[in-house]
Amino acid sequence: MHARLTEAWEPDPQLLGGRIALVAGGAQGIGQATTRVLAAAGATVVVLDNDRESAEPLAREVERSGGSAVPLIADLREEAACKAAIDRTVSDFGHLDILANVAGGMSKHAQWRPLREWTTDTWDAIVHLNLRYVFWLCRAAVPAMEARGGGAIVNVASIAGAFGCPNQAPYGAAKAGLINLTKTLALECGPSGIRVNAVSPGVTLTQAALGTMHEQTRAELGRLTPLQRLGRPDDIARAVLFFASPLSDFVTGQTLLVDGGVSVTFPYEGLGR
Ligand SMILES: NC(=O)c1ccc[n+]([C@@H]2O[C@H](COP(=O)([O-])OP(=O)(O)OC[C@H]3O[C@@H](n4cnc5c(N)ncnc54)[C@H](O)[C@@H]3O)[C@@H](O)[C@H]2O)c1
């Protein structure tokens, strides 16, 4: 049997050498794993997050382990802050090569509910957190990447963007929108050498996801997953690394589902036997 990739896997530290990466929502969960993986691959990582208490120690940890990361505290709900974050990165480091849009999810205040029970405010909050800031960051980043002669944008969507999504309508709609935005930007930016791709995680073990899930549900979801476990933040970060790096130089407009095989499960299992 082949040895499995483990959490101990480390990328080639030259893979992203000299690259400047901005990770939006880079302080916790999948974003934190993305910050660590991109830094381990040699990038200087700007950790854009509104959670100072997580972003600053993470940047220090990366520096201690020989990598390069700086926190940039900003609120992605603010248009001016998004533009300023890109401008600041370019003025501090000279250029921007990689933009990973990871922040998102169901707002902490939003319960799962049928469509008729969503308010305009909660709908907007979720769509903004998963889609609108990506537009703002990309709009500011693309000219900087064009000036550099190319770049890579990686959006973290969700399998929820690929299927109907009962009780999570704004989340599913926003992630489907993000997948479409990925394709559109790929077409618009391809001639400038900017690649745009998305990673769609299945259920992934972050505090945000675990907080809404009973232990029993978690076990059941793992059992229903072809690879027999839920995702780890690192699983998703490695896919982001692939799209951010020259390993995917001829790949753009794609969405990679990193879900342990859930999305290819046959829905009529047992039928016709
Ligand atoms: N965890 C899962 O099961 C799962 C499944 C599918 C898709 N995803 C997607 O993966 C991404 C990350 O999910 P996660 O579980 O790691 O989430 P998380 O809540 O653990 O991390 C999100 C990060 O974004 C930051 N953030 C949130 N709002 C912000 C704001 N307004 N301004 C700046 N920073 C902000 C948070 O501080 C945090 O560091 C999201 O886009 C989510 O939709 C997650």
Q: What is the pLDDT of residues 26-50, one digit of tens each?
A: 999 999 999 999 999 999 999 999 9
Q: Is residue 264 part of a domain?
A: no
From 45, 127, 204, the mutation candidate for ligand 1 (largest count of ligand atoms within 8 A of CB) is 204
pTM: 0.96
If you measure from the C-alpha of residue 241 to the centroid of ligand 1, how many angstroms do you get, rounded to a whole number?
A: 17
Residues 95-152 pLDDT 10s = 999 999 999 998 776 788 999 999 999 999 999 999 999 999 999 999 999 999 999 9
Residues 200-225 pLDDT 10s = 999 999 998 887 788 999 999 999 99
Residues 74-83 pLDDT 10s = 999 999 999 9
Q: Is residue 91 part of a domain?
A: yes
Q: Is 230 helix (H, G, I), strand (E, B) or coil?
A: coil
Ligand 1 pocket, Cβ-based, cut-off 6 angstroms: 25, 27-31, 49-51, 54, 75-77, 102-105, 129, 156, 158, 201, 203-204, 206-209
Tokens 């660590």 sit at which residue? 36
In this prediction, residue 270 carries a pLDDT of: 79
| Strand residues in the chain grouped as ranges (E) | 20-24, 44-49, 68-73, 98-101, 151-156, 194-201, 255-258
| List of residues 6+ apart from 268 with CB closer than 8 A | none
> Which pLDDT band holds residue 1 (cuts at 50, 70, 90)?
very low
Q: Is residue 223 part of a domain?
A: yes
Q: Is residue 11 part of a domain?
A: no
> What value does the mean pLDDT take over residues 174-196?
98
Spatial distance between the Cα atoms of 140 and 151, rounded to a whole number of angstroms? 13
Give residue 60's domain range.
Answer: 20-256
CB 214 within 8 A of CB 187: no
If you measure from the C-alpha of residue 3 to the centroid of ligand 1, how many angstroms do you get, rounded to a whole number?
A: 31
Q: Is residue 270 part of a domain?
A: no
In this prediction, residue 3 carries a pLDDT of: 47
From first CA to last CA, the distance across the chain in angstroms is 32
If you measure from the C-alpha of residue 25 to the centroid of ligand 1, how many angstroms do you get, rounded to a whole number?
A: 6
> What value does the mean pLDDT take over residues 6-21?
89
Q: What is the DSSP letter of 5?
A: P
Residue whose Cα lies nearest atom 41 of ligand 1: it is: 104
Q: Is residue 4 part of a domain?
A: no
Q: Tell me, what CATH number does 68's domain have?
A: 3.40.50.720
Q: Is residue 28 part of a domain?
A: yes
Q: Is residue 169 part of a domain?
A: yes
Which residues are tagged catalytic? 171
Helix axis angle for 169-189 and 133-148, nearest 10°, is 20
> Which pLDDT band holds residue 5 (cuts at 50, 70, 90)?
low
Q: What is the number of structural domains in the chain?
A: 1
In this prediction, residue 271 carries a pLDDT of: 81
Relative to beta strand 194-201, strand 20-24 is unpaired
Spatial distance between the Cα atoms of 221 and 55, rounded to a whole number of angstroms? 30
If you measure from the C-alpha of residue 7 to the centroid of ligand 1, how many angstroms do you get, rounded to a whole number?
A: 20
If you measure from the C-alpha of residue 111 to the centroid of ligand 1, how many angstroms do you get, rounded to a whole number?
A: 16
CB 234 within 8 A of CB 7: yes
> What value does the mean pLDDT take over residues 13-24?
97
Q: What is the DSSP letter of 3?
A: P
